[in-house]
Structure 1
Amino acid sequence: MTPEEIAGTLTELFDTSAINAIAPGSWQVDTSTFRLLVLLSEDNTWLRVLLPIIPAESGQPFLGQFLEANFDDTQEVRYALSEGVIWGVFQHDSGTLVSPDLSNAINRLISLHQAGLDNVFNQFIQSRIRQIIQAAKQQGQSLQATMQSLERFYAEGLMGDINQTSEAREEVLAVWRRQLERLWNED
């Protein structure tokens, strides 16, 4: 893609007032929710699109899930860590890149940005639930016995908020029940 084609693709995706040419071969797209950077290498052979997702400090507990997402979920874009920020990154040889692929990559980066920690947090929780299931099965517990243990932990204040209402506790336990039922036979 030439710089003109890149600029044209950005114009198709965003309001022209949001797009700023910050240097030759470099653009910044500012919206109300994000700042996207599009950078060509000095020799115009390589394109990089960057979108900050979250501060690295916020994502630190989930770095494993970010790496797993790179392997399984993110397709042509990746999570990366640089300068205290977790970024969504797309890199491609500009000579073989076409406008629809650049548009798709930018849309995927925006999806990563919108999801923030949601997807990796859910993966983290799911892995913890699987660990609970594995431990329960190793102890010979059934799904029902495992659920009873969780109910007891909540009733005794070992889990959950001590000031939690009984209705709120029942909602949380219903979520536990659904997740345990969903994952029980996978392991």
Structure 2
Amino acid sequence: MAWLRTIVTACVLAAPALAQDAPKVPDSPEPPMTYERLGRILFALDENAQPAGTGFQLTISGVPMLVVTDRTADRMRAMVPLRPAEGLTAEDMMRMMQANFDTALDARYAVAKGRLWAVFIHPLSPLKKDQLISSLGQTVNIARTYGTLYTGGALQFGGGDSPGIQRQLIEELLEKGEEI
């Protein structure tokens, strides 16, 4: 149980830093997110976005993305295909699960239909505009950093393995630099 206490302590210590960067609560409540409102936001992010079935295809910062909705289940999913799942090693899977815990933030790595994906999944109606935009950015970031930093690009949630793994690269470079 010492391991659990260590993780909880690290998470509690990280919480004040996370709270400082939390988005401000708007003065007036936003309307519920709907397929139509989602579409307006996505078209503002990419004027070349295209409706696709119950969702949209768009490109954010050069990364193609599919956003799908399910009105009946009140859910949405933003997805970026990364690669075939075949050939993923145990080390790949472990690193992605570590990132899902602390650096991917609202985005996640997932496997479905024989592919590895960067995804953001959320109930549709309570989704806020800024939360959507931030999470789409995080999804693009974990797609871009797959195989390297595995990060959503914002904060890291404490108590995970990623900071030590990322620090390892710096230590290796510093060690190499000592020879110069």
TM-score normalised by structure 2 residue count: 0.62
User: Which of 60, 78, 81 is 2:108 aligned to?
Assistant: 78
| Residue in 2 that maps onto 1:46 | 75
| Residue in 2 that maps onto 1:10 | 42
- Contact kept? 2:107, 2:142, Cα under 8 Å: no
Larger radius of gyration: 1
Higher relative contact order (CA 8 A, sep 6+): 2
Question: What residue identity is the alignment partner of 2:107?
Answer: V
SS in 1 for 2:42: helix
Question: What residue identity is the alignment partner of 1:27?
Answer: F
Asked if residue 56 in structure 1 is aligned to residue 85 in structure 2, the reply is yes
1:111-165: CA deviation from partner (whole Å, max 9, x where unpaired): 1121121115xx6x949x6xxxxxxxxxxxxxxxxxxxxxxxxxxxxxxxxxxxx
| Residue in 2 that maps onto 1:161 | none
Q: 1:28 to 1:21 in 2, by over 3 A?
A: same
Distance 1:82 1:10 in 2: 24
| Residue in 1 that maps onto 2:55 | 26
SS in 1 for 2:39: helix
Identity %: 22
User: Any unmatched runs of 5+ in structure 2?
Assistant: 1-32, 151-161
TM-score normalised by structure 1 residue count: 0.60
> Equivalent residues in 2 for 1:97-176 (5 A)?
97-120=127-150, 126=165, 175=173
Q: 1:67 to 1:21 in 2, by over 3 A?
A: same
Deviation at 1:49, TM superposition (A): 0.9
Question: What residue identity is the alignment partner of 1:67?
Answer: M
RMSD (Å), alpha carbons: 3.1
User: Any unmatched runs of 5+ in structure 1?
Assistant: 130-173, 180-187
1:17-57: CA deviation from partner (whole Å, max 9, x where unpaired): 2x11111x311114784321111114161111111123324
Equivalent pairs counted in the alignment come to 131
Distance 2:60 2:98 in 1: 29
* Structure with greater proportional helix content: 1
SS in 1 for 2:126: coil
Distance 2:119 2:52 in 1: 19
